[in-house]
Structure formats: structure tokens, C-alpha cells
Amino acid sequence: MKIILASNSPRRKEILSSFGFEVVTVPSAPENPPPENLTVEEKVSFLALEKGLDAEKLYPDTPVVSADTVVVLGESIMGKPKDRQNAFEMLRALSGKTHKVITAYTLFYKGQRVSRSVVTDVTFYELTDEEILDYVDTGEVYDKAGSYGIQGKGAVLVKGIQGDYLNVVGFPLSDFYRSYLWAVK
């Protein structure tokens, strides 16, 4: 099962490959910013759609998937940290609280588009500054929304999750697979 992944995310490629997809990655970036009047979930969905538009044109007869993931605490959207201090601040804000991980994806195939978003609640332990700095110093924080990777050393920060674990890693495979089956039928 060949699929085009319009993303540079190594985690998304790994998740799809582990299920048996032959994954070809195509770098992508949204061409337009989302309109300001959208909800967070709508903004993430907009970005996921935008990321796949060019790949859809290049590969019209092959399934193409694009995605975007954000961490949301209250009304605040957390992307990837800019630097060490920014990573520390994000993790300090998440400490002892429950936040949402939202991944939206769009599947393009032969003129069809399926767009979905998946939300997982993640609760962090109450963390000391020392624990946060120790984690930041692992270097694991820099390419991850919210500054943590649940699949790595960041797992010890997490008290619990409600929802899809792989969504927190970076791609909701179970939900996507149902969309894939529908699209390629």
C-alpha cells in the first residue's frame, strides 16, 4: 500500500510504515495562514489541508495524506519551541494540568478529500523546575509541539491520557485507517 506523506515528520512516517504502508515523503508547508476567525480545531484542519494541496496535484492517483498537530492549554496554542527557554516555559505551563493534543489530517485520493481531527487529553504530573530542565537538556523537546515526546523520555512527564496514544505521538493511525478504507474502496 503506497502512500504519499506530505510532511517532514519522522514520527508520522514511522507510524504509517509500522502499519505496512510504503511511505514516500514529500516536504510540505501551508501556503496560506488560517483565517483568524476559526476555532483551534478548524485552524489545525485548515493547515493540514493546505499542506497536502501541492502533493495532491503531483500524485493524483496515489493516496496522499497531510497532517498538523498542536498542543492546546486553555486557549493557548503551543507549537514547537523556539529555544531552550521557550521549551522550559511550555513545560512549566503544562505541569500539573490537562491539555489537548489535536491532530488534523486530510487524505486526498482520486479527487476525493477526507478531513478529520482527533483530540486526546493529556495530563502531566506536577513537575519541579529541575525535572523540567533535566528533560529539556535531553534535547528531545525541539521538534515537538508542546516541547515533549510521549514516545520518548517525555513519557515520565505524563500522568495519563484519555484518547488515542498515537495521536499524541503525532498521527492518529486508527482513525486514519478507517478514512483510508473508505477512500480507496
* Catalytic positions: 68
72, β-bridge pairs: 77, 100
CA 142 to chain centre: 14
Cα gap 118→69, rounded to integer Å = 10
Distance CA 107, CA 3 (A): 10
Contacts of 120 (CB under 8 A, 6+ apart): 100, 101, 161, 162, 163, 164, 165, 167, 168
Q: Are 62 and 3 in contact (CB under 8 A)?
A: yes
